[in-house]
Structure 1
Amino acid sequence: MKKLAIIGCGGIGRYHLDHFLQFRDIELAGFCDIILERAEAFAKAAGSGQGFTDYKEMYDAVQPDMVFICIPPYAHGDIEFETIRRRIPFFVEKPVALSLDLAHEIRQRIQEAGLITASGFQCRYSNLVEPTVEFIQDHEIVFIDCVRVGGIPGTEWWKKRALSGGQIVEQTIHQFDIIRYVFGEPDTVFTMGTKGYVTDVDGYDTEDLTTTVVRFQNGALAAISTGCYASAGASADSKVTFGARDSRADLYILDKLRVFEEKQAAVEDSSLVVKGDGAMNGKGTTDTVYRQEGDSGLLCDRTFIDAVLSGDPSKIRSPYEDAVRSLAFTLACNESLDTGLPVKVNLD
């Protein structure tokens, strides 16, 4: 039976552990965290394995066949290099780094070692992906409108952009990634941000809200807005809208997809617009709804484990190499935010 280890026994590590506890064909052999009690708590929950505070010591003792790296964004680097040196296939949580140079170096070493890798973009494994792709293939998408608005996560490091990357890189990278996955590659981004609305969180220095304009390689445009200023769910309707000339698809990630397909009629009798001015309303449209089924995170984890067990990585939807491109997309937004200039996205 293949042995699995986890580095990082915090919230995201527990998310993966809950999945592993449903599997019967792997041995949960090692758990590592800078706080030993957390690692030991994972071993107790698993009913197997041992807790460690040093990942090299764990590697020596356990000799794992695969590892899940569930560490904060600022902690990437040495762990990946040592894991690659030991030729251990690994799954790494997003964002895979905060430096594109570091991510490129890790990517290069992975390629040289020929390792199986995956990253934590579980949204790619949703059953909503296929109908979204079908809609995009059947319609010429002109505009993508994306909103993700929430509050500030409870982890201490998240509040510092130097440690987390800020909301674009640490959280909304899921939206940037799924847009890349179902639609296509970005060419250029221009990002603006604002602060001053979050005033009750000590040590907080990232943007409260950002809006990014994206030009894709095929010429389409997107507006991606994300904020952490909200105190209630009524603050915003978080979704991704793919808009064509005669229809649209609203993707509520890991929840539902709503497709509106009939042509909309010109407004004839509204006193608020000039007759024939091109305004449209939604009367007469059809609304087809697809619902999320199952746990896409479970499928994401299972796919990586199956790839290691079989030696066939072909079903992994987000290997490390591709995760680096989503990182590049979001880091370009941060560069634009800091410079006030449009930035070309480096996908190489």
Structure 2
Amino acid sequence: MRTCRVGLVGAGGVAQRHARVLSGFADVELIGVVDVTEAAAAELAGAHRARSYGDIGQLLDARPDAVYVCVPPFAHGPIEEAVVTAGIPMFVEKPLAVELPTAERIAGLVAERGLLTAVGHHWRYLHAVTRARELLVGRAARLVSGAWLDRVPPVPWWSRRERSGGPMVEQAVHVLDLIRLLAGEVTEVTAYGDGVAPPVDGADVDSVTVAALRFAGGAVGTLGATCVLDWKHRAGVEIVADGLALELAEDALTVRDADGQRRFEADPDGARVAVDRAFIDAVRGVGDDVRVPYAEALRTHRLAVAVAESARTGRTVRLTAGATRTAPVGAARDA
């Protein structure tokens, strides 16, 4: 395959970013865009000399080599089912869904077809993340502290739990994915929400959530998230191992060990390009660097849903490796 013909589902901000990146690749042709808002699809398609289509069926009839699914959390499911049924390689933006059953169902279909997939956890393509993993070789994580301290994103669906899944599922999932990558699998979650919705019409998500995490390898940790600010303050993770402290954000890695402190700059824009480049190369058969296929993203999604479930129900949630669902344990905590 000399040119990869790509169809795009969604025309929002994330879809626009992917369209810009893909249009910059000499071996990619963006052939079509679908969105529930036809005017948005037409505008994005026109900006990249593509065609707008009325629905996913029409886009698939154009026989793309790959499809990008860049839709809000509540819209996942039917689109992926159609793409998988057509047997077309698929890139899905996070989160995989609002809840777990939809993602589990899609993962099963993907596995049955043996389909090439990728999910947009672009932080895994940061050179700083690679460096952090190298530094942790032979040193088990002992203490983990993650955070996503931000504002309410300017989209109407985000502050409604049934539309976004909540901050842990929609935003902090990036940090949870890093936590899994660097510190290993989480086996137990106990989370608390503050029960106070942000001052947005119709909002019902918690403004603040904190979770305690227990890891299979023996580490313990926390993750805090909030949307009460007017700016994005911090997003990242700190990891302490024997004789080593790492602080990793999207823009840099700070390392402290016996040799002192040093800082490694990161390139988030480069990572956003790299995640697309890796997927296109895999579709074309000239590369094999997809770091987060759908099945791997599902593991992170299970963790995010477990945190949200614990905060919502007041119960500790245990995650079993390889299980298709999380299992609450113990009695509900006092309100």
Please report the TM-score for the alignment, with normalisation by the length of structure 1.
0.88
Contact kept, 8 Å, 1:197 with 1:229, in 2: the verdict is no
- Give CA deviations for 1:225-273 in whole Å, capped at 9, x if unaligned: 011011245xx55431111243301111x200000113xxxxxxxxxxx
- Give CA deviations for 1:162-196 in whole Å, capped at 9, x if unaligned: 11000000000000001111221111000011033
1:76 Cα deviation after fit: 1.1
Gaps of 5+ in 2: 323-335
Instruction: Confirm or deny that 1:303 pairs with 2:278.
Output: yes
Structure 2 residue aligned with 1:319: 293
Structure 2 residue aligned with 1:267: none
Q: Aligned residue pairs: how many?
A: 319
Question: Which of the two has greater strand per residue?
Answer: 2
Structure 1 residue aligned with 2:214: 215
- Give CA deviations for 1:131-174 in whole Å, capped at 9, x if unaligned: 11122224332101111100000111101011100000000000
1:216 Cα deviation after fit: 0.5
Distance 2:197 2:317 in 1: 27
Over 3 Å counting, the alpha-carbon distance change for 1:112 and 1:311 in structure 2 is farther
RMSD: 1.6
Contact kept, 8 Å, 2:67 with 2:88, in 1: the verdict is yes
Instruction: Confirm or deny that 1:201 pairs with 2:200.
Output: yes
Over 3 Å counting, the alpha-carbon distance change for 1:210 and 1:27 in structure 2 is same
Instruction: Confirm or deny that 1:289 pairs with 2:263.
Output: yes
Whichever residue aligns with residue 323 of structure 1, its letter is A
- Give CA deviations for 1:187-216 in whole Å, capped at 9, x if unaligned: 100001103373x31111100111110000
Whichever residue aligns with residue 39 of structure 2, its letter is E
> In the alignment, which of 42, 45, 52 is matched to residue 44 of structure 2?
42
Partner SS, residue 295 of structure 1: helix
Q: Which has the larger radius of gyration?
A: 1
1:30 Cα deviation after fit: 0.7
Contact kept, 8 Å, 2:129 with 2:248, in 1: the verdict is no
Distance 2:187 2:20 in 1: 38
Contact kept, 8 Å, 2:192 with 2:209, in 1: the verdict is yes
Structure 2 residue aligned with 1:332: 306
Whichever residue aligns with residue 253 of structure 2, its letter is L
Structure 2 residue aligned with 1:156: 156
1:99 Cα deviation after fit: 2.8
Contact kept, 8 Å, 1:35 with 1:53, in 2: the verdict is no
Instruction: Confirm or deny that 1:246 pairs with 2:221.
Output: no
Distance 1:159 1:197 in 2: 8
Instruction: Confirm or deny that 1:86 pairs with 2:81.
Output: no
Distance 2:197 2:113 in 1: 47
Partner SS, residue 272 of structure 2: helix
Structure 2 residue aligned with 1:187: 187
Distance 1:59 1:77 in 2: 16
Structure 1 residue aligned with 2:107: 107
Instruction: Confirm or deny that 1:10 pairs with 2:12.
Output: yes
Structure 1 residue aligned with 2:330: none
1:53 Cα deviation after fit: 2.6
Distance 1:301 1:169 in 2: 22
Distance 1:83 1:237 in 2: 36
1:96 Cα deviation after fit: 0.8
Contact kept, 8 Å, 2:4 with 2:280, in 1: the verdict is no
Instruction: Confirm or deny that 1:53 pairs with 2:47.
Output: no
Distance 1:346 1:83 in 2: 30
Partner SS, residue 179 of structure 1: helix
Contact kept, 8 Å, 2:189 with 2:310, in 1: the verdict is yes
Distance 2:172 2:321 in 1: 18
Please report the TM-score for the alignment, with normalisation by the length of structure 2.
0.91
Partner SS, residue 258 of structure 1: strand
Partner SS, residue 225 of structure 1: strand
> In the alignment, which of 242, 257, 261 is matched to residue 261 of structure 1?
257
Gaps of 5+ in 1: 263-284
Structure 2 residue aligned with 1:126: 126
Distance 1:202 1:190 in 2: 29
1:15 Cα deviation after fit: 1.1
Over 3 Å counting, the alpha-carbon distance change for 1:41 and 1:237 in structure 2 is closer
